[in-house]
Amino acid sequence: MTPTLVIARLTVQELLRRRLFLVLVALTLVVMALVTWGFARLPTLGDGGRELGRTEVVAVASQLLILVGFMFSFTLAFSAVFAGAPSLSGDVESGTALAILARPISRAEFVLGKWLGIVATILVYALPTTALQLLLVDVVVSYVPPRPLEFVAFVAAEAVVILTLALALSTRLAGMVGGVVALVLWGVGWIGGIVGGVGLAFDNPTVTHVGTATRLILPTDGMWRGAVWALEPAAILETMRQAGRAAAANPFFAPDPPPAPYLAWTAGWVAVVLGAAIWSFSRREI
């Protein structure tokens, strides 16, 4: 195995053996049970015990699922930060990096291995839980969102973006500091997306540019919009499109998928920030 893959495997092992991962999985299962129970009750929620019609169930289920999806993406982004922010700084502080980096392994391989390991762990967590949740919703209300694969891809991409940032910060900052910075930036990105939407709704180019700028500087909210779009049924998209610009400010709505150039930008962003992390860690004294 190449040194990069050895470090990646070690990182996955470390994350899976930590209590954090077990707690996360346990809590996720509890939340999923609650969500499923809620969805199962959905058809009986009409006024005075009236059964909801099929169209209504789909409308409510889809919007509810978007909220659940947001919670999920939030948890995932948080976990990615918790995994990434202490990873390099923690190894340097504890002295575990000393023995490893004295082996014939380059700093780039070490950083890349850490990144790959955390990305793999994110996927190991995100794919089965999303699949299970969507399956459970399908079982209880027979509703499947239109683009489940795209949803997972966008949510995972959001986590990878914030993870890459946290990892880059951890080349220089202590775990707590880097983690807080990454989370604050994630929040700023989210608000920036809303601000941009408000600008669009009120036709104010300056405010719109602020939103666009934050989406370019930190593509987490852009990825979240992609995830929302993947969950919107065609009927809702149609209605909301007719609402026009007014809907743009809603952080839980996206009329269109992120355009291909934006996806390319995001991929480039991850590559550049990862490159910066490697550069920074290569100059770090152990």
CB of 285 to another protein, least distance (A): 5
Residue 143 CA to residue 54 CA, distance in Å, equals: 10
Of the pair 18, 209, the CB lying nearest another protein is at 18
CA atoms within 13 A on the CB side of 145: 29
Of the pair 106, 204, the CB lying nearest another protein is at 106
CB of 17 to another protein, least distance (A): 5
- Tokens encoding 221: 């909210």
Q: Give the position of tokens 């190991």.
A: 124
Question: How close are the terminal C-alpha atoms of the chain, in Å?
Answer: 25
CB of 223 to another protein, least distance (A): 32
Of the pair 15, 273, the CB lying nearest another protein is at 15
CB of 104 to another protein, least distance (A): 5
Q: Read off the DSSP letter of residue 284.
A: -
Residue 265 CA to residue 182 CA, distance in Å, equals: 20
- Tokens encoding 234: 């065609």
Of the pair 103, 234, the CB lying nearest another protein is at 103
Binding site for another protein (CB under 8 A): 1, 3, 6, 10, 13-14, 17-18, 94-96, 98-106, 283, 285-286
**CA nearest 113: which of 18, 20, 1?**
1
CB of 140 to another protein, least distance (A): 39
Q: How far is CA 129 from the centre of its chain?
A: 14
Of the pair 50, 283, the CB lying nearest another protein is at 283
